[in-house]
Amino acid sequence: MKRYANLSGKSGVVAYAIGKDFVDVKFRGRDEVYRYSERSAGKQAVEAMKEFALAGRGLSTFIAREQPGYE
């Protein structure tokens, strides 16, 4: 997993991993890694999450607002 840049300094996301059709997300204070796949969250959501993860900003907010499904 890659450390999340957290440019806002307020994110609950600490790390992520990007695959062809998924994003894995690790949140602060959690041992679990959450997988958001095209199957569980939808292609549009996964593509948006990839962009937020790479940008280092907005990923936690997107997940909280959109509540995409995870595996």
The fraction of the chain above a pLDDT of 70, given in percent, is: 100
User: What Cα–Cα distance (Å) separates residue 4 from each residue in 40, 42, 58, 60, 61?
Assistant: 22, 22, 11, 10, 14
Each residue of 55-71: pLDDT tens digit?
999 999 999 999 999 98
Domain ranges of the chain: 2-66
How far, in Å, CA of 21 to CA of 61, rounded? Answer: 21
33-60 confidence digits (pLDDT tens): 999 999 999 999 999 999 999 999 999 9
Segment 5-27, tens digit of pLDDT: 999 999 999 999 999 999 999 99
Q: Cβ neighbours of residue 39 under 8 Å, at least 6 residues apart?
A: 21, 71
**Model pTM score:** 0.93
